[in-house]
Amino acid sequence: MREIILDTETTGLDPATGDRVVEIGAVEVLNTIPTGNSFHVYINPERDMPEEAFRVHGLSAEFLSDKPVFAAVAEDFATFIGSDMVVAHNASFDIAFLNHELTRCGRTPIGAHQVVDTLAIARRKHSGSNSLDALCARYGIDASRRTKHGALLDAELLAEVYLELRGGRQATLLLAEDQGGPAVVEVGATRHRPRPAPLPPRISAAERAAHAAFMATFEEPLWQTFLAEEDATEAMVAAE
């Protein structure tokens, strides 16, 4: 399944009061795994940059002055997203801004049915802070490059977080040899060594005898043929 993990940077908190998108970063994932395909653009907001917003992402009005306006990149953005699911952290914020921009240039907004909010998923799984930084720390994801908010970097980090939230790493089960010893089962980061000795049977000798007596009432059951063939094969392998 193709999904788009995205993040935006803006001039403020509310598009209804004139705030605009200044950066979009998005990465493509297939079955939660990044493909390497991405979309990244800085956007001229056609307005000033409030100081409080500049402190968050470091994008000045001067830096953005020669960048394309949203309408100029809307076609490429819409093509990259397509009809696939859009994944964002606190998605209502990003989608409100993007839909405001899409509507301004006469394009179809992103539908609610097309949106996955990782913040909502994280809140169902974990108590306490579920900010992107907190989730990176929880899952051991290196976020040291995140000195300021940046849409593409945040989207890349969110892709890793999303994999963890979906249980992607834990879903991988590998069998490996451990220093010439018995096979070790690896599930995510957890390693399980087989028991040195099998657990004792839970049935008693009387129960085994009763079962054998019951089986003796059958006349040449089919499974006895397969058991005999299996025993013969094992004997041949041992002889070799």
Q: Are residues 63 and 95 in the same domain?
A: yes
Alpha-carbon distances, residue 226 vs 123, 222, 223 (angstroms):
53, 7, 5
Pair (15, 93) in one structural domain: yes
> Is 92 in the same domain as 191?
no
CA angle, 144 then 146 then 147, to 5°? 100
Q: Are residues 67 and 135 in the same domain?
A: yes
pLDDT tens for residues 152-202? Answer: 999 999 999 999 999 866 544 444 444 444 444 444 444 455 666 777 777
Residues 9, 117 within the same domain:
yes
Q: Give the pLDDT confidence of 197-228 residue by residue, as tens digits.
A: 777 777 888 888 888 888 778 777 676 666 66
Residues 159 and 184 in one domain: no
Q: Decide: helix, strand or coil at residue 197.
A: coil
The verdict on 103 and 155 lying in the same domain is yes
pLDDT at 186: 41
CA distances from 115 to 53, 83, 85 (A): 25, 11, 6
- Which pLDDT does position 224 carry in this prediction? 67
Same domain, 24 and 40: yes
50 and 97: one domain?
A: yes
- Where would I find the H helices in the chain? 51-57, 61-64, 70-81, 91-104, 118-125, 132-139, 151-165, 205-215, 222-239
C-beta separation of 2 from 30 below 8 A: yes
Q: Are residues 122 and 142 in the same domain?
A: yes
In the chain, how many domains are there? 3
149 catalytic residue (yes or no): yes
The CATH number of whichever domain residue 91 belongs to comes to 3.30.420.10
Residue 216 or 231, more confident? 216
**pTM listed for this prediction:** 0.69
Domain extent for 188 = 171-199
Give the model's pLDDT for residue 74. 97
234 and 115 within one domain: no
Residues 157 and 190 grouped into a single domain = no
Catalytic residue among 100, 126, 149, 192: 149
Complete edge-to-edge strand list for the sheet that includes strand 190-192: 173-177, 183-187, 190-192
pLDDT in tens, 3-41: 999 999 999 999 999 999 999 999 999 998 899 999 999
